[in-house]
Every structure is written in C-alpha cells, then in structure tokens.
Structure 1
Amino acid sequence: MTESSHAVRSLNERARAERLLLDGAVDGREVSLAAGNSASVGDVVITRRNERTLRTSRGGWVKNGDRWRVVGMRRDGSMLVDRLDPRRRGKTVLPPDYISEYVDLGYAVTAHRAQGITVDTSHVVVTPSTTRENLYVSMSRGRESNLAYVALDQPDDSHSTPEPDDVTARTVLFGVLQHSGASMSAHQTMEAEYAIHGGIDRLAAELETIASDAQHERFVELLRRSGLTPEQHEAVVQSSAFGPLTASLRRAEAYHHDLNTLMPGVVSQHGLDDADDIAAVLRYRLDRVSASLPRGCRLRPRLIAGLLPEPLGAMRDEDRQAIKERKQLIEARAAALVEAALTDGAEWVRRLGEPPAAPADMAAWRPDAATVAAYRDRYKAFSALPVGGGASTDAQRASRRRALQAARRAVDSAAQAPPVRPGVAADVQAVFAL
C-alpha cells in the first residue's frame, strides 16, 4: 500500500514482472486492464465496482475491493478468477467490458482503496505526505503482520527541505502522525478516538505488545536453560516465530503450567536438527501439551475477561502497572458491552438464555456473557450467533473455543436458574450443535 496512484501502478508492474520471472507464463494470452496494465493466468487482480449480476460459484457476487487470482483466460477476452479471501471463496467469469473499466492488478493498492481489504501481510510505503488516517488504515490490513517502509528521499513540498541528517524514519513518522487529512466535529473526534483506542482488539494488542517487551529477556533465558544448543537457541530468538512462541508460553503459564519443568520436556520430545524453523516446531509442541490445565489442577485459568492469558512472572513495576490498566479496561468494556446488549435486546445475548434473577446466579452468568462479548469485540463478530462463524488464525481459534465454552456455561446457568424464557435455551443448544 502507498499514497499515489502512480506508485501503485509501478509497484503492480514490478510485482507482475517478478511473478513472471519466477513462475513463467502459462500461455501467451493476456488482457488489458483499466489502469493500462495487463494480466494473465496466475496474476492477482482487484475489482473496482460492485456488480451483483456477476455471481460466484459459492453464491456470492463481485464486489468493489475484492482480490482474485486469474485461473483461466477465454478466447473472448473474459477471465476466470478465484477470490482470494478464504472466508468468501468462489470463482466467477469477468467479462471483457467489465475488465477494461473496473479491474486492476491487485498486488499494490492505495491506502484509500485498502479500506475493507484484509490480507495475510501488508507492506506500507510511508512518505512525508501520508496522512495519519491513511497510515492507520494501511497498518491494520494484515492478519499476521503489518510492515512500514519509510521513504527518506521524498520531502514534503509544503515544507522547506530539511538537511539530510535531520531526516530519519522517526521524524517522518512523527510528521505523519501530526498530519490529519480529515476535518471532524468534536463529537465525531470523540467517537473516532474511542472506537480506535477503546476497543478490545486495540487494548488486547497493546497488552500483548507490552507483555512481549516485558517478558522478552525472561523467556530468552528460559529457552537457554531448556536444553537447546547455543546455535539452536540463537535460531529460535532470531526466528519470526519467536513472538508466537512467547505468546504460547504466556498462555501455558496462565493455565498453571510450570514453564521451568514444561519447556525442557517440550525441547527433548524429538530431535530438532532437521527442523526448518525450531521456534515454530517448539510452539506447535507447546500448544499440544499446554492447551489444558495440568493433570489434577482444579484452578481456573488466569484469563483476562475469560479470554486473554494474563501476563505473569517477574517484570518491571511500570510494565505490570500498564498491563493492569489494560486488564481493567478490557474487563470494564466487556461488562459494558453485555449491559448494552441486554438493554438493546441484542439477539446474540438472548441466545445465552434469560439472565438469572437471583444475584448469586447472575454473578455466575455475567462473567461468561462478558467473555462472549469480549470475543465479539476483539474479532469484530457481528453475527446474531454468540461467537459468529469460523476463525481465520490459530490465535482466534483458541479464543473462539474459550468463548464457546463460556457461552455454553452461560446457557447452563440460565437453564438452572428459573425463570427461563421458553424455547431460548433449546434454541441455543441447537445453534451450538450445528
């Protein structure tokens, strides 16, 4: 993603050229696209206009912003394409007149066009003219990671040219964060800031970032004492999977596992000499043995809002305080979301059963409802079902399992504490059975 259409076209052309060099061309046929580029089998393209008459094989239709891979070319100039979004797969045929007007290469897009798009990894070109709104949109498109590349050779024409030594990634980013491209009223500003900073998705990301930094050295030392060779230890710490591994360590600790005992056993399960990524292998092994409480342990996992593993262990006082503050904000927001859902009569909370009338029963029902609310807010699940549909990542799948367990407990609590609205509990059990 980048700011200018000219840069997008150049990046698209370069990406296609790289693909052709690596993969080769399936055949010699190609079609011209709206921006003047060409596409052939194997290319990624993006559609720029909603077209309900173009139906997909899965019952959907072509939408503005959808990204597709070209899987076939027709003699009449039409293309057979397969949608890349794993949540909305489906193939369709794009006709020549639609292609020439509303289809572009989809390797690179402007930040404006990126709204609504979700990808595995986003790579963002940041220049001094980037607005903070576009930076936020661009840096929140990737499921797995979002990387910013800061251009230092493109001064903002509206300012005097700084000396070369004065231009750093930090100064450019500072300027971008001061550069707003929107004009909002005070009320709109309050709502926007609350939506950005008050959501559980944002608070959870902040908490995990703080925890990762606070526990980094501790986990590095833990792995050093777990039976890895110096070379293996260095490879683990330098791996891109080290972050997910530390997240799994936090989760195991929240489930009352003794990491000092657990990790040596995980390391020694099988040899690691033939592993392509030792950190990824260790994470897989760790998740298998620590997904539940240790045998004989009757304690409840230490989870924030019943969902997020609470960072534990030794850390600096300021880090512990920052984590505590976000824990309180997450749990307060989850509770507030339950109250709002009850007031509004939201379908998802109705499916958890009639809230118990007795204070003691309500005290048991409410935390489980809050866990469901926290999951919905973190992963933006807007379905009428308590935890929505499926999950796209391992982390979301783990959270979804916890939310489903909480939903079932809430239904049981409501059913065991009459009065219960007739039919509600049965409906919920039927939904979960699906």
Structure 2
Amino acid sequence: MEAFAAWLVVWGKTRAVGWLARHWPKLVAAGLAVGGAAVFVAVTAATLVSGTDQDAVAANACTELGYMVDEAAYQPPPVDQKPVIPTGGPVAGFGRDDADKIANAQAIVAAGAEAGVGRRGLIVGIATALQESGLENLDHGDRDSLGLFQQRPSQGWGTAQQVLDPRFAALAFFGGATSPHFHPSAGKASPAGLLDVYGWADLPVTVAAQSVQRSAFPDAYAKHEDRAAVIVDALIDGVPAGALAPAPGTGVAPGSDPPGVVTAADFRASGVDIDAFCSSSFQLASATRPGSSLGGQIIPTGAWTAPLQSRITSAFGSRFHPIYREWRLHAGTDFHAAVGTPIASPTVGVVGGVLWTSGGGLTVTIAHADGIETQHLHLSEALVTPGEEVQGGQIIALSGGSGIGTGPHYHFEVHVDGEPVDAEPFMLQRGVNLRAWS
C-alpha cells in the first residue's frame, strides 16, 4: 500500500509538471491581465539573451544545459556580415533602379504610421521585409509564403491576394487594433503582430521581428537594422508627429518586479535559439572537471559493453513519431533513463563531436575502429570533449531530456560507414545483449 501511495504521488507530480509545462504561457498571461505589473517571462528572456547587460541570465541557462561558463571570457556571437547600403537612388538607402522597392517601403511606413508603432516599429518592419523579401512583393516563397513579409495563407495571415497587398501585409505584421486580424473580444490580433508582443519596443530589432515571424533564422534580421533606420528616416518626412510616438503599452511596465530565474525552456518558448547561443559562446563541461570521467568500469581494448543497463522503450525501425505525427525511421534504440543517469562509451574510441541538434538535443558522437560510429542523444551533460580518446566503459555523459521527445530518456545509435544500423543485433554480435535488462 505504501509503495502504491508513493507511486501515486510521483504520478501526480509528473502530471502536474506536464500540465504546467503546456499551459504556463496562458497562466502567465492571465496573471498579467489581473495584476498588470509582471513582465511576460518569455519576452524578458528574449531581451536578456540579446542585451549586453544581461549576459549572466543567459549564462545561467547555458549552465543548465551543461556548458562551462566563463563569463570573463564571454564574447557575444557576431552578427552576420551586414549588407552594403545601396546609394544613388531618389531615396536614401536605395539604388537607382529601386522604384518598386521604394513604393513598398512607403507602404510599410504608411501602415506603421496608421498603426502608431513609432520610428522604432517602422525600423523593425522595414528590417523584417528586407530580410524576408528584399522589399520585393514576391509571389513565391517557402511553401506558401508570399509578399513582403513572406506571410503564409495556410497559417491564417490572409488569402494569397490579401498578403500580396503591401498595405494589408504591413498592417497584419504590425498587429494591434488596425490589423485585419484584430479580434475586439480578445483585444489583440491573431496571428499576432508586433503590437501584440508585450514590451516589443524594448527588444532588440531581431528579437522583436522574430516574435512575429517565427523564422528558422532568428538572428538574420539584425544585419538589416542600419539600412532600415536610413530608409525610415528618409521616408518619415510628412508623417504626422503623433504617428511616430511609441504606442502605449509597448514598454516594460514601470515598477515591475525583476524577473525570477529564466530557464532554457523560457528562452526557447520566446523563439530564442538558446542552444545556438550557448554553443557559440561557451564550452561544454568536459572531463577536465574533477571526477567527471570516473565511475565507469573500464573494459579491455577491443571489447564492447552496453552504454546503459536499462529497459529498452523503443527499438530501431520505422515508427509513427509521437511528436511529428508521421511515419519515419527511428534510427536508434531508446532506453528508460532518468535525467543524470551515467552513459558509458561502448568501446574504445575518439570523441568526434559534442553538439546540439534540433531533434537530438545535446549529442556526443564517438568514432570507433572499422568505420563504426556511435551517437548518444538527448543528454543533459557531456563529460568529454571533441578529439578526446575514451576507453570502453568510461562515463562520457549524463542522460537527459534535451531535444525533441516525450520525456527524459537515452537514445543510442550505431552507424557503420555512415549508415545507421540496428544496435541490438550489432551489439549481440559483439557479445552484448541490450535486452538483458528489459
């Protein structure tokens, strides 16, 4: 009975944590509506990761992901090379043959003035259009993306004809009460535009744009900021001064309490690629840390061992993916593993990489003899570094729940000459039965 009660408590906690993980944005939004004082955590996270005075908060999230953070050595990752600002045209920031682009920029500025986004919002809008379309009203794009902002009709941005109308597209991007997607009952637009992002005026241009666009290249907008400012300043002559004042409610609420601990999950929820930030800014924890390489039972050279002695939860082969909801090859073997479970190298080898992937999260790859490579996915911490020689049985990492998955587990892959193979028969041929603990 006591065992059942303990299990019931653990089950209840797991369900509660899962519910909170799915619904915390709604809870935070409700809290803002009632109190009107707290700053939305996800937007704060986006600000923090880009603000030079808030690197410590991003560093904390990187530490959570298993990175060794030396803040004294931190250097922000460089922005992509900024494009040359064209000259010689009738409007600053444009070339001689850019009449159509100038007209599109004028439409964006007019829509921004109508929406009341101010100079800052106009710069965000122009920078976004420069990245998405080069200020050309494109009738094509990725999947069904169209127009100046590459808005997708299938995602609710309007019909193909509507998103190809520069004024319609710009008003939709700016959002707020003038958006064609504004819902009076909700008090905001859906899809959300710039004015629907709380505190957008205090965000870096690239983060503000990404909060609307949800681009696969979230850092790309920053390189267009300088040119966008030149264009906006050249086009706002004649725009009523009142239209250039920031819209009410766009800044951080005065008197707000400082935010609490911002986690890696908060950054990801706001569209910030915290994994790329960490990998480009810090080093993963390595075996130089005292005791991190100890604890594994070293086996003779040439012998093989199970990287983890645990129950198999998903085998190699084609399966219906629980997240992507489609049939695809599951190229590895999944094991039941709580976060922090030690993972061993199956045999002697050299660490080929310690990296982040979108699906596998924190991953360690090890090159072995005869064209064999093993991959270890969804880790919480890596205990080795690229180029390091490891012994069979040596602890190389701790399991986790990073990347895409339904919960913490350990994913083990074997590749032979670059192709994934089923780890179970492969290991059985080497005297290791991975099913021994199932």
**How would you bin the TM-score normalised by the shorter chain?**
under 0.3
TM-score, normalising length: structure 2 = 0.27
- Where relative contact order (Cα < 8 A, 6+ residues apart) is larger, the structure is 2
The normalised TM-score by structure 1 is 0.27
Normalized per residue, the structure richer in helix is 1
